[in-house]
Chain A
Amino acid sequence: MTATASRPDTGARTPLPLDVEAIRADFPILSRTVRDGKRLVYLDSGATSQKPRQVLDAERWFYENVNAAPHRGAHQLAEEATGAYEEARAKIGAFIGAPENEIVFTRNTTEAINLVAYAMSNAATAKEPEFRTYAVGQGDEIVVTEMEHHADLVPWQQLCERTGATLRWLGLTDDGRLDLSDLATVVNERTKLVAVTQQSNILGTINPLGEIIARAHEVGALVLVDGAQSVPHQPVDVTELGADFLVFSGHKMLGPTGVGVLWGRYEVLDKLPPFLTGGSMIEVVRMEGSTFMPPPQRFEAGVPMTAQVIGLAAAVDYLQALGMDKVEAHEKALTAYALDKLAEIPGVTVIGPPDTVARGGAISFTVEGVHPHDVGQVLDDHGIAVRVGHHCAWPVVRRYGVPATSRATFYVHTGYDDIDALADGIRAAQKFFGTV
């Protein structure tokens, strides 16, 4: 997998769509230094993004002015907190083209996926007949892909273990794409749900969801799209997408930690039993048993992460002011440049699609003769933060026969200077370990 020469803009620095200097000024953390005074070159937004001042201010505003438990209490603060929380829900819904009653707040992507997986196993024993609609059991199949993050793999393995259903998966091609040649057999009449990522966090691949969703719906299966790496980086509209669930994390899209989103088609959410139970999600409680609220409240037990939701709404404002089209174009230009820069370094191999066609900005690479951990350590010494390891996608590194990779990911504050620093850092690692 080497970069092709067919790309027209080889090595070119096309003007970037976003004003990187102005954006950097919004991120307080980018003005700190690391490792003895070096500028922080943050190329790990894929793990978690940095936060602009506007998001931090929104959280502080909430705590200093409004703080109360939403949907509880009759005092003014409780009213205002409920209003702010629900307004944020509407705004975050609009960001992905969804009505507010289809937005469920969770802790992160991981919890959103677990919510669906546990609801599907709880369905088997639900006393309400309509809650049994999506029950799975022996003879049923769940389909994932070999490029899923552990968060979109292990909960489905566990669902199958709890229910006796069978897990199947779509494999990968040598150039880092989904192998859809057996789509029609892997997704079949026994399939109850297909879980697939929109952008791979390790390969950068953007998957052809249309084809997969069409096949799944043809056989009556639900589709859950892992949007953890797509919603922060490209425009996503749930109506266009056509899936049944979309999940993503606030902390990867300039928002706070501790808040994630499950979007679900209302008709589907309405037929799912709860995952977590307790306060705020009940309709009537008696000692003998309880009934539950309609979605989204049915899935939000306990006092929610209110300030974080307010912060996430501020992140959505921030991204919308930049324009998601521009964010996407910005990262595409950076990706093209980075792929060229890495291709210029002998011994560097990109694991994933070699060009920018249907590809996002996660670039995993190996450096011949230098273990990814050691690459990461030398880069760190230069102030450059990348992720090293298996990126919570162990089957992927295994598939490509490498023990681990180093991964650079980009965001709105990333500029060409960051990528130049990365290329210089990789060369320094090669020199330090004597491979050149």
Chain B
Amino acid sequence: MQLESMYQEIILDHYKNPHGRGLREPFEAEVHHVNPTCGDEVTLRIHVEGDTIADVSYEGMGCSISQASISAMYDLVVGKTVPQALGTGEHFMTLMQAKGDPSVAEKLEDELEDAVAFAGVSKYPARIKCALMSWMALKDASARALSTTGGQS
């Protein structure tokens, strides 16, 4: 059974008990992203103070992977600066391109915390987009937030 390698316990926990879910005020930018091949959707708001991410709030519908990925991302990025968060996003992207190579996951473990559990997803090309949707939305939202607040990154 290969399923467990993708659906790690941590992923299922995030899916069933998502962290930070719900749309909150205040926010500087709100984005809506969809995955046109499957119809998964997320609305994501970002609140920055200076260049620190004070809150990320979201509503979405989609599969366990897409929903758990947002929840794990929330844990990772709130409290970080925007450049730090985007750097983490780059690491997550690297993990998604690893084609299941365990050495990549090992190296990224400290940086990605719970999100390293998504390593198994990288073996399933059709699901990588599900895991990446939240990170794409974050990148988009933070760029917009910084351009409206005039923050430097």
Contacts and interface: CB of A to CB of B under 8 A. Distances in A.
B3 A373 contact: no
Contact of B62 (A373, A378, A397): A373
Contacts of B61: 403
Contacts of B41: 403
Interface string A385-399: 000111000100100
A25 to B, nearest CB: 29
B39 A403 contact: yes
A35 B63 CA distance: 21
A413 interface: no
Nearest to A388: B38
Q: How would you classify the secondary structure of chain B's contact residues: helix, strand, loop or mixed?
A: mixed
A246 B9 CA distance: 51
- Give the contact-size bracket for chain A: 10 to 19
A377 B6 contact: yes
Interface string B40-65: 11000000000000000000011111
A378 B130 CA distance: 16
Interface residues of B, number: 20
B39 A390 contact: yes
Contacts of A404: 38-40
B125 to A, nearest CB: 12
Nearest to B1: A381
Given A381-B1, A432-B7, A374 B64 contact: yes
B38 A374 contact: no
B21 interface: no
A422 to B, nearest CB: 17
Contacts of A36: 2
A373 B64 CA distance: 8
Given A388-B38, A390-B39, A404-B39, A377 B3 contact: yes
Contacts of A371: 62-64
B66 to A, nearest CB: 8
B124 A377 contact: yes
Nearest to B37: A389
Interface in A301-356: none
A433 interface: yes
B139 interface: no
A-B pairs, 7 with minimum CB distance: A373-B63, A371-B63, A389-B38, A390-B39, A381-B3, A404-B39, A403-B61
13 contacts: A35-B2, A36-B2, A371-B64, A372-B63, A373-B38, A373-B63, A374-B63, A377-B3, A389-B39, A390-B39, A403-B61, A404-B38, A404-B39
Interface of A: 35-36, 371-374, 377-378, 381, 388-390, 394, 397, 403-404, 432-433
